[in-house]
Chains A and B, each alone.
Chain A
Amino acid sequence: MDFKLGEREELLRKSTREFAESEITPRIEAMEKTGEFPMDLLKPMAKLGITGLIAPPEYEGLGLGYLARTIVLEELSRVCAAIPMGMQVHHMAIAALNDFGTEAQKKKYIPPLSRGETMGCVAVTEPSGGSDVLGMQSSAELKGDKYILNGRKCWITNSHTSDYWIVIARTGEGPKGLSAFIVDKDAPGAKPGREEHKFGLRGANTGELVMDNCEIPKDNLLGQEGGGLGVALKTVSESGRTGMAAVALGILQACYEEAAKYASERVLYGKPIAALQAISFYVAEIYTQLDICRLLCYRASWMKDQNMRFDTESAIAKSYTCEAAAQCAKKAIEIYGANGITLEYKVQRLLRDAMVTISAGGTGEIGKVVVGRAALAPFQKKG
């Protein structure tokens, strides 16, 4: 097994890190205050290649794989997790279009997303539940050459900043009764609803989408009628989970750096506290979790790049990394002592950001449902 990353990955990492440190750091204070996504960063991110990272070159993307994407999202997140949160959902929209779209749809919708002219979002969750996908109530009815959509989606990342929404709605009964649609935000009857004020990932825009007799062209059906569950599952389990895991991984990296740095600087009893075994053990624990999660995230992404089936591995990576990030952020705050609970230090933001990742893009429990199924499958008794 070759665990070494190539020159390409190292350069992607280096470039993203420099960009994040230089261009994103100054924006954090405003994002924390207002919760708004800095839209003017879209252009420089597009110029770097972040917005169109996984889109195929024929749709003005870079055609890079998921390992590259994970590294880029991780480096962005190391500085500020809210930005790659928005970007990873944007990639999900691109992935859904690329996997299920017709040539005409791909040509129309992917290039503006690649170029960062607009953002994309994927809308599955409703007030009736996110984990309970089949319980959704949003409906879509074919009337002539239009679909009429009715319903509300909530907890949608990029709800208010996206021009294109990938919406799942009911066209029939049962699991084969869901369909996916491309909704332009300017479509009649479509509009964003309330905005959520989260305590973490502030700057990642989260809110509601409202469809009130929303009319979209018939041609905006994405994939087959009745194939919506497949669109949702593939998008969430592939680009969604690996994206969320990468965001949490970057937070974990920041936890490690903050903890190690502080432990090496803070002097008590005439020495840096890193000299105390207990503190060094905490740092060791964070470092170990970081190493574990990096291996999980990179492995899942690598498998996608090899065209292997990887939904169990992506579920493990997502649920484990988000939980680990929160635990390590808590530890890092404790290493900071009293300073850890002040807003002056960055480390409190890491805990708030990590907590929000735990239930975003699939709860930890759903992750375990997926993994449990796979773990038990070989032992199932027939009949």
Chain B
Amino acid sequence: MERVIVCVKPVPDPKVWDRLRMDPVTKTLIREGIPSVINPLDRHALEAALAIKDVSGAEVVLLSMAPRDARPVLREALAMGADRAVLLSDKAFAGSDTLATALILTEAIRRIGPFDLICCGNYTLDGSTAQVPSQIAEFLGIPNIMHVAHMELEQDKRMVVTQKIEQGYVKLAAEPPLLLSFTKKANKPRFLSFLEILAAEKREISTWTNTDLNLDESRIGLGGSPTKMADMLLREKGRQGLRLEGSPEEIAHQLANKIRQLGFI
């Protein structure tokens, strides 16, 4: 294999998720003070790419559509062993839904050049739609496989991919070019070796704007998104909210009574 592209997205660090707050006026997330990390599943995608690089010497290119402050996250991904990174950053991209995002990433992939494999995480922790990888593959006209739990490289670039489905799995034979979405089961992401941390300081992070991609503004951003957000509402609760207090013995006793009252014992 000669080139593997890995799509990487910075997301709010899940360790501090309970600190995330919504701005009640703008109805957007308040991101200040919340550190970003590489979307955890993207690390598994990157590890798969690096494993291929280990045996074939392929170039591993990171691709990310994110604000400019994503650079430290990309630097960390480079320190895992990737060769270079392309950051797509432009106000015109903001507000893109999955279709518009897939279009932007597809155009960037075309400009990066020929590739054998594209690796993505199965879903991101923040958006969670899991839609973008399939849509990129569609736009590129290549097959894609989601829920990858295992990938084995055989000779002549043939791959055997194990896809996790409900209560079981499917084994598929595939060839490049191909897009794969990885789950946690696929591998154990390598630690950042200190040598790679040092080497990564010299690796390139190129920032591209829409001037580089030259996409029609009507197809990107809010304007290019078929889905639009119409409203944000607080969920209706309507719960009794009774507090049970006392010693653990008292609490256990009252709770057992309630369970009995509800008819479960």
**CB within 8 Å of B: which residues of A?**
7-8, 10-12, 14-15, 18-19, 22, 47-50, 53, 62, 64, 68, 72, 270
Interface string of B36-78 (1 = CB under 8 A from A): 0000000000000000000000000000000000001001100
In Å, the complex CA distance between A50 and B194 comes to 8
Contact between chains at A8 and B192 (CB < 8 Å): no
Question: Is B195 interfacial (CB 8 A cutoff)?
Answer: yes
Contact between chains at B75 and A11 (CB < 8 Å): yes
- From A19, A22, A62, A72, give the contact of B198 (CB < 8 A): A62
In Å, the complex CA distance between A4 and B115 comes to 40
Q: Name which residue of chain B comes closest to A68, CB basis.
A: B194
Q: Name which residue of chain B comes closest to A20, CB basis.
A: B191
Contact between chains at A19 and B201 (CB < 8 Å): no
Contact between chains at A270 and B194 (CB < 8 Å): no
How far is the CB of B236 from the nearest CB of chain A, in Å?
29
Q: Name which residue of chain B comes closest to A18, CB basis.
A: B191
- From A8, A18, A19, A22, give the contact of B197 (CB < 8 A): A8
From DSSP, what is the main secondary structure of chain A's interface residues? helix
Pull 16 A–B residue pairs with CB atoms less than 8 Å apart, ordered by A. A7-B75, A8-B197, A8-B198, A10-B72, A11-B79, A14-B76, A14-B192, A15-B194, A18-B192, A19-B191, A48-B193, A50-B194, A62-B195, A68-B194, A72-B194, A270-B245
Most buried by A among B79, B194, B245: B194
Contact between chains at A11 and B195 (CB < 8 Å): no
CB neighbours (8 Å) of B79 from chain A are: 11, 15
**CB within 8 Å of A: which residues of B?**
72, 75-76, 79, 191-195, 197-198, 200-201, 245
How far is the CB of A164 from the nearest CB of chain B, in Å?
22
In Å, the complex CA distance between A64 and B72 comes to 20
Contact between chains at B194 and A62 (CB < 8 Å): yes
CB neighbours (8 Å) of B194 from chain A are: 12, 15, 48-50, 53, 62, 64, 68, 72
- From A7, A47, A64, A270, give the contact of B193 (CB < 8 A): A47
In Å, the complex CA distance between A43 and B10 comes to 32
- From A7, A15, A22, give the contact of B72 (CB < 8 A): A7
- Given A8-B198, A62-B198, does the pair A49, B193 have CB atoms closer than 8 Å? yes
Contact between chains at A15 and B198 (CB < 8 Å): no
CB neighbours (8 Å) of A47 from chain B are: 193
In Å, the complex CA distance between A68 and B75 comes to 18
CB neighbours (8 Å) of B76 from chain A are: 11, 14
Known: A15-B192, A19-B191, A49-B193. 18 other contacts (CB 8 A): A7-B201, A8-B197, A8-B201, A11-B79, A11-B192, A11-B197, A11-B200, A12-B197, A14-B76, A14-B192, A18-B191, A22-B191, A48-B191, A48-B193, A48-B194, A49-B195, A53-B194, A64-B198
CB neighbours (8 Å) of A22 from chain B are: 191
CB neighbours (8 Å) of A7 from chain B are: 72, 75, 201
CB neighbours (8 Å) of B72 from chain A are: 7, 10
- From B75, B191, B201, B245, give the contact of A15 (CB < 8 A): B191
In Å, the complex CA distance between A47 and B190 comes to 11
Q: Name which residue of chain A comes closest to B37, CB basis.
A: A14
How far is the CB of A382 from the nearest CB of chain B, in Å?
50
CB neighbours (8 Å) of A68 from chain B are: 194
In Å, the complex CA distance between A254 and B192 comes to 23
